[in-house]
Amino acid sequence: MGLFKSDAVLQTKLERVSLGESRILSFWRAYKDDYEGKSMKDTIEEMRGRKFRSGLGYDLHRLEVGRKLIVGGIELPFEKGSVGHSDGDVLAHAVCDALLGAAGLGDIGTHFPDSDPKWKGANSLLFLEHAKKLLDENHFAIEHVDAVVITEKPKLGPHFPKMREALARALGVSAADELVLVGDPIQFAAYAYWYLKIYGHADVRTLDGGRQKWIDEGRELTTEASSPAPKGYSARERDESIRARRDQVLAWLNEHGRALVDVRSPQEYAGELMAPPGYEQEGAARTGHIPTAQSIPWAQAVRDDGTFKAADELAQLYGGKGVNGDKPVIAYCRIGERSSHTWFVLKHLLGYQNVRNYDGSWTEWGSMIDVPVEKP
């Protein structure tokens, strides 16, 4: 590599794709009990070897007058721009190379050769989208992207938020913060989880057992209100693949090979109660349940302390009622909160592919005209 004057080159070094160190540490803490007796270092090594891969990307472009300067998908106002067959986006190229490298899927040159006229002047975010597609096909998930761009001029800092957003969009991940939801009662956290997923928040978890378990374990509490600093948030395009609408439920009534789960109490299912005690004002016009729905009250998925049951118990609970991973499933309750909990269990603990939450639920169904209702 030759030497360039510092404002004449733009280079990017990408150090880690995959899980950042801090995330590994927090994961280790969360699962410490499973790793009792092992040192943190051994645990991290073991987890790395088993689950995580890192990729390294590096790129360098010469700058020239008369070219656009595009970094991280954002055009920056500057008198020079990077020379390249594509738009010369040094950051997108390095990230792309790191991702392909981590997955052992070749490099940017093999996928997007600069001899191919198709890529002349191309938006490099397309490379990232393509890389992401390849990763998906090969069952890799992106956990973390860390990048360093070295330049003397122009200043990049003010453009970071937009770059981050553009790269995250191209990679189908969220640029938003890691969120931990603490429910009280626990199903509220599941509802918030589902809601955040609808709008594409990538990194969100729920505290197993919720606030009550925290209290039961004698952990620290405070009465002080927190004062987080306001920051921008951009929601992604709505993901309707985890949501069911009334028309779909109606269409399902005549179909085979699918499962409908009523997660309310047996009394609500049987039409003896309109709503759980304490919520009488929030009813529907009629009582009963949607025909063909199986009754599996949501709380059967948790133990007495509110934590999730083990996977084999859960598989037995739902599988025993014909709700298995081979079929698409729709869960409903009264307003979609308790069914979010069941949705979470089926989707994320049992790993069923096609699970939807019908958030209109009984409040909508029980108030509609001309839909069938079953009541024993």
Active site residues per annotation: 333
- Give the nearest distance from C-beta 81 to Zn ion in angstroms: 13
- Give the nearest distance from C-beta 97 to Zn ion in angstroms: 8
**Both tokens of residue 174?**
């969220």
- Give the nearest distance from C-beta 172 to Zn ion in angstroms: 22
d(CA 70, CA 53): 28
* Closer by beta carbon to Zn ion, 125 or else 263: 125
Residue showing the smallest CB distance to Zn ion in the complex? 93
Q: Which residue has the tokens 């931990």?
A: 180
| Cα-Cα end-to-end distance for the chain | 79
- Give the nearest distance from C-beta 91 to Zn ion in angstroms: 9
* Closer by beta carbon to Zn ion, 149 or else 192: 149
* CA dist list (Å): 113 to 22, 108, 323: 36, 8, 48
Q: Which residue has the tokens 């298995």?
A: 324
* Closer by beta carbon to Zn ion, 38 or else 111: 111
3-state SS assignment for residue 205: strand
- H or E stretch including 42? helix 40-51
3-state SS assignment for residue 256: coil
* Closer by beta carbon to Zn ion, 113 or else 351: 113
* Other CB atoms within 10 A of residue 135 CB: 20
* Other CB atoms within 10 A of residue 315 CB: 17
- Give the nearest distance from C-beta 169 to Zn ion in angstroms: 20
* Closer by beta carbon to Zn ion, 61 or else 356: 61
Q: Which residues contribute to the site for Zn ion (CB under 5 A)?
A: 59, 93
- Give the nearest distance from C-beta 124 to Zn ion in angstroms: 8
Q: Which residues contact residue 344 at a Cβ distance below 8 angstroms, ignoring those fewer than 6 apart?
A: 190, 193, 194, 206
* Closer by beta carbon to Zn ion, 83 or else 311: 83
Q: Which residues contact residue 369 at a Cβ distance below 8 angstroms, ignoring those fewer than 6 apart?
A: none
- Give the nearest distance from C-beta 344 to Zn ion in angstroms: 41
Query: Could you tell me how far CA 92 lies from the centroid of its own chain?
Result: 22
* CA dist list (Å): 208 to 15, 344, 349: 33, 12, 12
Tally: H helices and E strands in the chain? 13, 13
* Closer by beta carbon to Zn ion, 82 or else 287: 82
Q: Which residues contact residue 298 at a Cβ distance below 8 angstroms, ignoring those fewer than 6 apart?
A: 187, 263, 264, 333, 338, 339, 341, 342
